[in-house]
Amino acid sequence: MFKYKATFAYEGTRYAGWQIQPNGLGIQEVIQNKLKIFLKEKIDLTAAGRTDAGVHARAQTAHFSVVEKLDLFRFKHSLNALLPHDIRLIELVEVPLDFHARYSAKGKIYSYHLRLAPLQDPFNRQYTWHIPQASFSLDLMREASLLFLGEHDFKGFASESHRGVASRDSVRTMKRLTITSGEVTILEFEADGFLYKMVRNIVGTLVDIGRGQLLINNIVQTFERKDRRIAGQAAPAHALFLEKVLY
Amino acid sequence: MFKYKATFAYEGTRYAGWQIQPNGLGIQEVIQNKLKIFLKEKIDLTAAGRTDAGVHARAQTAHFSVVEKLDLFRFKHSLNALLPHDIRLIELVEVPLDFHARYSAKGKIYSYHLRLAPLQDPFNRQYTWHIPQASFSLDLMREASLLFLGEHDFKGFASESHRGVASRDSVRTMKRLTITSGEVTILEFEADGFLYKMVRNIVGTLVDIGRGQLLINNIVQTFERKDRRIAGQAAPAHALFLEKVLY
């Protein structure tokens, strides 16, 4: 038995997310179907985590096991030749049998891309959330972002599905949250783990604060009461990138 | 009578080019149809030049005349609200009545985007030409590019439609041809004018030289004999950008 870690980049636009879906095409499904063509056996990919419909990945990782040792170069070449152009296998390495794409992960990095300008850029519209308000305050957003650093129970910034889950399962440590402004303003999040929809909920809240529609105090309240309804709306999926899984 | 210069950015992917086409949708047609909706009159746009099917523009310019003076802010806002997201009006200014988007132009800048790497980037695949060859020589391409600088009869690098056209009509001056390498390698061309398919034919030739499939001498021969068949194939349209029209 041999185990491999595969790293994929994909544009999520056309897909119903990473996971195999009853309705819509899952990225996992597309890859597994292509693997079956040239490995002549059904392969199960286990990813570091799911990405939602429309979310992109610059480096999603997944492990899989096969009976025979792979020719890494040939495998990469063959799989990329079969995959659609919006999914690429960018790295493939052999790993110890106890490696697990999800449980061995030490953390993840996500980025969220904003276009803070009166007009959307036709060439980046598929990857950025357009915020046209001239009154948008980057300073307020930066100030508010500091509140997310460190260890917190992020339940209030997770999807409803986390309600009722014990606190020990919704505590995460945000190690870094940087905001780099430019033609595209990039928010980069590094944490030991992320709850479902956590990045999009944090971005939605930060953008509402920048727009003056929410107060910084709403973040404090959301952490205290663990209630999503005090925070902002989730930011759209199409501007979110899974940048890296850390091991 | 009032005359205006409008500057548009567009992603050409979905369109049959700038010009109104019998088959396929022209960008000019899309804009004119939207203008008619809120100006209640048929507007004729005259562009600095056509762009081919699939070619993009960061700043294509066009002029038009109207009987009544426009509210510039309202006009920009209304037109952008009606236009599809892959076309944006980025600037609108009043110009003297003798201004002509094509004849007043002093030159143009085009850029061509190459991806020189084993794998295509899923996020840039719509805007770059992927050259996977590991043996590709950027140095040879740079050396060859110098031959295009200055005043030349570019007939050998134009589309077949220029055959038989008098030389005085195919002489152009290439003022700048820069090659900037990176994740995307960008070739930028500035000239007082460009013949039909000239940039794509030059890029095709340069890439063939970089790949070792053509010699630098082929450029010399193409200039001398004015015969396209000695030069390389035209590079694909989807990686070409009209960057700016100079007045």
Mean pLDDT by 10 residues, chain B (247 residues): 97 93 89 91 93 96 95 94 96 97 97 96 95 95 97 90 68 97 96 95 96 93 86 92 98
- Indicate if the pLDDT at residue A214 is higher than 80: yes
Structural domain count of chain B: 2
A101 assigned to some structural domain = no
Tell me, yes or no, whether B178 lies in a domain.
Answer: yes
Q: Are residues A125 and A90 in the same domain?
A: no
pLDDT in tens, A16-40: 999 987 888 999 999 999 999 888 8
Same domain, A34 and A128: no
User: What does the pLDDT look like over A42-67, one tens digit per residue?
Assistant: 899 999 999 999 999 999 999 999 99
Both B64 and B111 in a single domain? Answer: no
Whether residue B230 is contained in a domain is answered as yes
Q: State phi, psi for A227 to the nearest 5 degrees.
A: -125, 115
Contact A157, A118 (CB under 8 A): no
Contacts of B133 in chain A (CB under 8 A): none
Say whether both B198 and B231 belong to one domain. yes
Q: What is the predicted pLDDT for the residue at B205? A: 96
Same domain for B73 and B154, yes or no, is no
A233, pLDDT greater than 70: yes
Q: Is A52 a catalytic residue?
A: yes
A122-134: per-residue pLDDT in tens?
A: 999 999 999 999 8
Catalytic residue among A52, A71, A98, A208: A52
Residue A171 sits in the same domain as residue A72: no
Tokens 């106890």 -> residue: A98
**SS3 state at A70:** coil
Which of B95, B128, B158 is the endpoint of a domain?
A: B95
A47 and A123: one domain?
Answer: no
For residue A199, what pLDDT is reported?
A: 97
pTM for the structure as a whole: 0.89
Residues B79, B144 within the same domain? no
* Predicted local confidence at residue B241, as pLDDT: 98
- The pLDDT assigned to B199 comes to 97
The nearest alpha carbon in chain B to A73 belongs to B118
**Is residue A242 within 8 angstroms of chain B, CB to CB?**
no
Boundary (domain end) residue, out of B73, B95, B117: B95
What range does the domain containing B59 cover? 2-95
Under the banding of pLDDT at 50, 70 and 90, the label for residue A164 is: low
Q: Is residue B102 part of a domain?
A: no
One domain for residues B121 and B197: yes
Compute the Cα dihedral for A178, B119, A18, A97 and give only its sign.
Answer: negative
pLDDT at residue A162, rounded to an integer: 62
Q: Do B123 and A127 touch (CB under 8 A)?
A: yes
pLDDT value at A230 more than 90? no
Asked whether residue B69 falls in the same domain as residue B181, the answer is no
Q: Does some domain include residue A171?
A: yes
| B125/A86 CB distance under 8 A | yes
Q: Percentage of chain A surpassing pLDDT 90?
A: 86
Task: Say if residue B128 is in the same domain as residue B220.
Answer: yes
Q: Which of B95, B116, B143 is the last residue of a domain?
A: B95
Q: Based on the domain organization, do B134 and B90 belong to the same domain?
A: no
Q: How many CA atoms lie within 13 A of B64 on its CB side?
A: 21
